[in-house]
Amino acid sequence: MPTCQKCKSQEAIYAAQIINEEPIFSLPGSHIKAFPVGEVCDDCRIEIKEDHANGLPHPLTAEEMFNLPDWWKDNRGGWENPKVDIRNYRPSICFIWEVSEKSYHRWKSDGGLCQEYQNRFYIA
Binding site for Zn ion (CB under 5 A): 4, 6-7, 10, 41, 44
Closest CA to 6 of 54, 57, 53, 55: 57
Q: Closest CB to Zn ion among 4 and 68?
A: 4
CB of 36 to Zn ion, least distance (A): 18
Q: Closest CB to Zn ion among 14 and 71?
A: 14
Contacts of 89 (CB under 8 A, 6+ apart): 72
**Is residue 112 within 8 Å of residue 86, measured between CB atoms?**
no
Q: How many CB atoms lie within 10 A of CB 26?
A: 13
Q: Closest CB to Zn ion among 7 and 18?
A: 7
CB of 52 to Zn ion, least distance (A): 15
